[in-house]
Structure 1
């Protein structure tokens, strides 16, 4: 039995798009959008060379898995909002949305940090 979500050999990435903005935490995210409402999802990355972490768009093999999961529509409707004056949508981490949708989490790395269970 697998305890963590693993990348499949074949996958699609139809849903969600890469979105660039000037958010204080990240510059690139995965945006799920419906009409004028949107929800950004970010994932933490690690740069081996500089030993620094940063937040960016989620892995492309996860975009459709999250979007097609039962409960995504309800989660989106409760968390998504219109873009603010700075061009930013509400943001959650990939772990927050995976736990909320009762998905197996991706493997946690030692260098990862977490936000409280609130929107970013």
Structure 2
């Protein structure tokens, strides 16, 4: 059973109603993609898909994590936008996009939305 925490502490710890969600990505490039091509892809990914959607990407050119650029959670619509953008990229042989997960405590289940 979780201990009783004040609202202020729950917010500080990003738990319960203050849980923040994000998702993991991994990329598989087509054969023969050099460092320049991968670097150009990652630049376009940041400029065209991540930043315009108020998101940030943390990771490398093979895998990483996407979360909101400010306090809060990534929405399923933002996740779908990223996935749709990736489907259109010729450099990629494949990619994976995880379901939304707790950005601070990945082993914790995702809380249902608060109404």
Assess same fold via TM > 0.5. Answer: no
- TM-score normalised to structure 1 length: 0.26
Higher Cα Rg, which structure: 2
What is the TM-score normalised by the length of structure 2? Answer: 0.27
Which structure dedicates a bigger proportion of its chain to helix?
Answer: 2
Larger relative CO (CA 8 A, sep 6+): 1 or 2? 2
